Chain A
Amino acid sequence: MKENHSASSKKVDKTSLIQKFRGNVKYQKYLFVYTCLLLPILFFLGIRILPTLFTFNVGFRDWNLLATGAKPFIGLQNYQALIQDKVFIKSAVNTLIYIVIGVSGQLFFGIIVALLLHKINRFVGFFRVIYFIPYVTSIVAISWVFQWILMKNGIINDLLIKIGLSPQPFLNSPDQAIYVIIGAMIWQALGFQMVLFLAGLENIPKMLYEAAEIDGASPWQKFWHVTVPLLNPTIVFSAVIGSINFIQVSFTQVINMSSDGTGGPLNSTMTVVVYIYQLAFRKFDMGLASAATVLLFLFILALTLFQMKVLTRKFDY
């Protein structure tokens, strides 16, 4: 249509045509931008932002789903109740244990496997696939597989007896269960970290190692003074993502691996998220549960900032 127009009236001023074209493009752009953003804006406001604010509000109220009528504002009472609640404190401490041991375990084994894979030149793809497989499988299914192989008369205890050790209670023991779950989580997520570190290692220029060798650096010094500083961005990313994943994924693992299905034995594997779930959907105390989610939010925020600060510190080259 535009071509017809310009062809039929050659005498029309060129500049006004260009202006018209520009105006047309601009109009189209705005139409495009605002039509396309309509749904996303509604979504992010209605399903993310407002619910977040709503949670803060509920956390200050006595809000039980079973009780009808008023939901009075009670200030910080929910928060006070939580701080004095032994199960909540236990779940908070456990969450910290999950993160500290789980994330450092993941990073440690991820780096080890990546370094091993970096050293070889055959079957790299093959090994990478094998180590990565647990990451893509169903967490619930794998949780039950772990229960099965770790049960009292399961295959692992049988092997322990065969090599002359005593059988262990594993998930039935208040002392062992949390570490068994952390172990399963490390096993599952290690492949993800491995891929990240392998990519990081491949990005380090060989020249730097050669230079270090000329200076007479030992393999350990090369690792500590060349590899670690240059992998630092990857380590920060892995630690931050890993911690947030641990908090979320631990719900699925704990519910499906605990001997009683709710964070036992004796709350020894309970996490904050599992406790929030119980408060909200077993006891229907939405006020208390919301206050707990606010504390979780503040905790995650603080943790992320802390990790960024500690892990991005300057290294001496």
Chain B
Amino acid sequence: MKLGKILTYLALILGSIIMLFPFVWMVSTSLKSPIDIFSLDIIPENITFSNYIKVMEESLFAKWFVNSLIIATVTTISVAFFDTLVGYIIAKFSFVGRGVLFILILSTLMVPTEMLIIPWYMMSSDFGWTDSYWGILFPGLMTGFGVFLMRQFMEQIPDDLLNAARIDGMNEFMIFFKIAIPQVWPALAALSIFTFLGNWNAFLWPLIVIESEALRTLPVGLSFFSSGEAESQWHLIMTGSTIAVIPLILVFILLQRHIISGITLTGMK
């Protein structure tokens, strides 16, 4: 191997250590007993799982985890369905108001979410949506970005393919599900994965709209958990962080091909 190649590998390995070190230290701390947490061994002298039991027993961690799972899943299904449908209709049908509708949806891309937090909060309190799953869910059920993305991909489907299905007597819903969706599958997978990740990590809106401890999502729960009751109990904070992070890493390793081709796909559009 040439010297240049060896140096390249060395640089990449050094970078990998920087990328992974915080996780290693997090897991390491979570396995230490309270007396050992300031020791600087990467592999703890006495490995203990007691922190995990304590976090699960003494906080609503499991509940927060489930809340996040429900919110992220429902949002992802809704976004995947509606954004694809609207993208398809705008790309493949001509009807009165199509241009206006598209501009309307595109214009929502310009407005940052932060600008809408205040009206959403007022709406929620007027309609009694605060402190409920629906309250967390409603702003994210459809996205302008998703509509735009799916429209780009739907435009590439040949009209003849759709018309052939019509002549065969397929109804419009079946054409959408059986003909159009399979054609844009990679883009749909990418949109779904990013919607899930984004909602799993969502912090600002759930922080505002939720009051009761039992309805917190994982990021909000973790934030309070770390700043309040467990303050200075770093072994518990690191345990909570491990529980929040490890499932995501596992899912990522399983789906990494789709995620990476998804970024490439959306980035090239």
Interface check B85, CB cutoff 8 A: yes
Q: List 12 A-B contacts (CB under 8 A).
A: A33-B93, A40-B82, A127-B12, A137-B249, A138-B248, A142-B241, A145-B25, A148-B25, A148-B237, A158-B40, A297-B112, A301-B110
Asked if B115 contacts A248 (CB within 8 A), the reply is no
Contact of A32 among B18, B101, B173, B222 (CB under 8 A): B173
B222 touches A141 (CB 8 A): yes
Q: Which of B29, B116, B242, B244 contacts A52 (CB 8 A)?
A: B116
Please encode chain A, from 174 to 201, with 1 for each CB lying within 8 Å of some chain B CB and 0 for all others: 0000000000000100011001100110
- Whether A290 sits at the interface, judged by CB under 8 Å, is yes
Interface stretch of the complex, out of B49-57, B150-158, B181-189, B260-268: B260-268
How many A-B pairs fall under 8 Å by CB? 247
Determine if A234 is an interface residue (Cβ-Cβ < 8 Å): yes
Q: Flag if B141 contacts A43 (CB, 8 Å).
A: yes
Instruction: Give the residue name and chain of the A residue nearest to B173 (CB).
Output: A32
Question: In the complex, which residues of chain B have a beta carbon less than 8 angstroms from the beta carbon of A129?
Answer: 252-253, 256
Residue A306 at the B interface, CB < 8 A?
no
Is B111 an interface residue when CB atoms closer than 8 A count as contact? yes
User: Are B263 and A196 in touch, CB under 8 angstroms?
Assistant: yes
B172 at the interface (CB under 8 A from A): yes
- Take A127-B16, A234-B267, A252-B201 as given contacts and tell me if A141 and B108 are in contact as well, using a CB distance cutoff of 8 Å: no
Q: Provide the A243-255 mask, 1 if CB < 8 A to any CB of B, else 0.
A: 0100110011001
Query: Residue B118 contacts which of A138, A146, A293 (CB distance < 8 angstroms)?
Result: A293
Q: B19 contacts which of A45, A130, A148, A155 (Cβ < 8 Å)? A: A130
Bound-complex Cα distance A244 to B114 (A): 11
The answer to whether A37 and B89 touch across the interface, beta carbons within 8 angstroms, is yes
Whether A99 is near chain B, meaning CB under 8 Å from some CB there, is no
Q: Which B residues between 1 and 41 are near A, CB-CB below 8 angstroms?
A: 4-5, 8-9, 11-12, 15-16, 18-23, 25-26, 29, 38, 40
Task: Provide the bound-state CA to CA distance between A226 and B142, in Å.
Answer: 40
Name the residue among A36, A139, A140, A247 with the largest chain B CB count within 10 angstroms. A140
Which 9 pairs of residues, A with B, have the shortest CB-CB distance?
A51-B119, A32-B172, A141-B241, A199-B264, A293-B115, A141-B244, A48-B108, A140-B219, A252-B203
Does A237 count as interface, using CB distance less than 8 angstroms? yes
**Least Cβ–Cβ distance between A179 and chain B, in angstroms:** 16
Are B112 and A247 in contact, with the CB atoms below 8 A? Answer: yes
Q: How large is the interface on A (under 10, 10 to 19, 20 to 34, 35 or more residues)?
A: 35 or more
Min CB distance A91 to B, Å, is: 12
Residue on A with the closest CB to B237?
Answer: A144
Does A136 lie within 8 Å of B104, measured CB to CB? no
Interface class of chain B by DSSP:
helix
Complex Cα gap A49–B106 (Å) = 11
A261 to B234, CA, bound (A): 17
Closest B residue by C-beta to A127: B12
Question: Which chain B residues lie closer than 8 Å to A297 at the CB level?
Answer: 110-112, 115
* Given the contacts A141-B240, A158-B40, A248-B112, A256 and B25 also touching, CB distance less than 8 Å: no
- The CA-CA distance from A146 to B4 in the complex, in Å, is 33
Query: Interface residues, chain A, CB within 8 Å of chain B?
Result: 2, 25, 28-34, 36-37, 39-41, 43-45, 47-52, 54-55, 58, 113, 116-117, 119-120, 127-134, 136-142, 144-146, 148-149, 153, 155, 158, 187, 191-192, 195-196, 199-200, 234, 237-238, 244, 247-248, 251-252, 255-256, 261, 273, 276-277, 280-281, 286, 289-290, 293-294, 296-297, 300-301, 304
- Bound: A293/B123 CA distance, A: 17
The reply to whether B22 and A146 contact each other, CB–CB distance below 8 Å, is yes
CB <8 Å contact, B222 and A280: no
Contacts of A131 in B (CB 8 A): 15-16, 19
Task: Note all chain A residues with C-beta closer than 8 A to B219.
Answer: 138-141, 252
Cβ contact within 8 Å between B93 and A192:
no
A44 touching B108, Cβ below 8 Å: yes
A261, B227: Cβ atoms closer than 8 Å: yes
